[in-house]
Structure 1
Amino acid sequence: EAGGRPPEGVDEETALTAMLAAAYPLGGDTADGERTPDPVALAVLEETAEYLGAGLSDLINLFQPERILIGGWAGLQLGARFLPAVRRHATAYALRHPAQKVSVELGRLGPDAVTVGAAILPLADFFARGGRRPDPVPTGPAPAWRTVLEERAPR
């Protein structure tokens, strides 16, 4: 909407990398070796931080977590430079009491956080059953001896 469009065929990661490079340039084209940041890219990133912070404030108000981790490829790219703005907006939109008890941090599992989390699910199920294996599910008809015992059992 603000005038920038990524080139055709570019994935989201590449487009985000280009936006970050425009907003926070390294090396440069001015006399002192600095490149001027793109004001549109900076505005888009600040608006994104506000929307993310507002969304996190809803989670803070509803669930009152102790910690919120931001991760994934986008979280890793936005990183530490983006996090203070997200924290600022989350605490501004959240209720004071829950906002004082939560910390918003970057995840440390890297880009494979979702995969690691999914790998934990079978372990969580195993521990939820008290460390016992699930009861086997019969795949065919009951054996004849079981049917006979069930028929002879007193009712």
Structure 2
Amino acid sequence: ERWREAGGRPPEGADEETALTAMLAAAYPADTATPPDATALAVLEETAEFLGAGFADLINLFQPERILVGGWAGLQLGARFLETVTGYAREYALRYPASRTGIGLGTLGPEAVTVGAALLPLVDFFAQGGRRPETEPTPPSPAWQTALRDRVSS
């Protein structure tokens, strides 16, 4: 959308992924005789700076050891722009936390969040030694407690 607002020409009716692919192709044409689209290059540079500034905020606030870029957009942009984004993040972040934070591309692919969520039950299971937690059997409540609970909730 930003490319269109700046005067670029994404394909009509294209979804976000297709439009991003078209913008990258316009900025870095495969045919060396075709000049790069200056608008696409400017939007991509601006995006890299915005991402770097956002990462700097994360670094300053949370001081993470690592930031991984993923998802379909991150993986498309990451290979070409990760170094630029990292440069902006280091420029805008506080020096000490920035020096202790690594920024890289995720390796789980565009479905990283889904894969991570699917692993959570397994992590919990293995943290318990591969056994279900043992639960103490609870004796039934006396009848007077049940009657009292029913009256209070009514």
Please name the residue that 1:106 is paired with.
105
State the shift of 1:55 in Å: 0.5
Match of 1:16 among 15, 20, 36: 20
What is the deviation of 1:44?
A: 0.1
Partner of 2:140: 146
Query: Which amino acid letter does the alignment assign opposite residue 75 of structure 1?
Result: G
Over aligned residue pairs, what C-alpha RMSD do you find?
2.6
1: CA distance, partners of 2:22 / 2:99 = 35
Counterpart residue identity of residue 113, structure 1:
A
Output one character per residue of 1:56-87: Cα deviation in whole Å (capped at 9) or x when no partner: 10110111111100001001111221111100
1:97 is matched with 96
* Residue aligned with 2:22, SS: helix
Q: Which segments of 5 or more consecutive residues in structure 2 lack a partner in the other structure?
A: 146-154
Whether the 8 Å contact between 2:11 and 2:22 is mirrored in structure 1 is no
Q: Deviations over 1:16-74 (max 9, x none)?
A: 00000011111243xxxxx2111100000000001111011011011111110000100
Instruction: After TM superposition, give the deviation of residue 149 of structure 1 in Å.
Output: 8.5
Report how far residue 114 of structure 1 moved.
Answer: 1.4
Pair 1:133–1:25, CA change in 2 (3 A): same
Number of corresponding residues: 139
- SS of equivalent residue, structure 2 residue 11: coil
2:50 aligns to what?
Answer: 51
Give the secondary structure class of the aligned counterpart of 2:47: helix
Residue aligned with 1:146, SS: coil
Q: Distance in 2 between matches of 1:106 and 1:23?
A: 21
Q: What's the offset of the Cα at 1:146?
A: 2.5
Q: Which amino acid aligns with 1:90?
A: A
Q: Tell me by how many angstroms 1:120 deviates.
A: 1.7
Match of 2:29 among 16, 25, 29: 25
- Structure 1: runs of 5+ lacking an equivalent: 30-34, 137-141
Shift of 1:112: 1.7
Does the aligned pair in 1 maintain the 2:86–2:103 contact within 8 Å? yes
Question: How much identity, in percent, do the aligned residues show?
Answer: 70
Q: Structure 1: how far apart are the matches of 2:122 and 2:18? A: 35
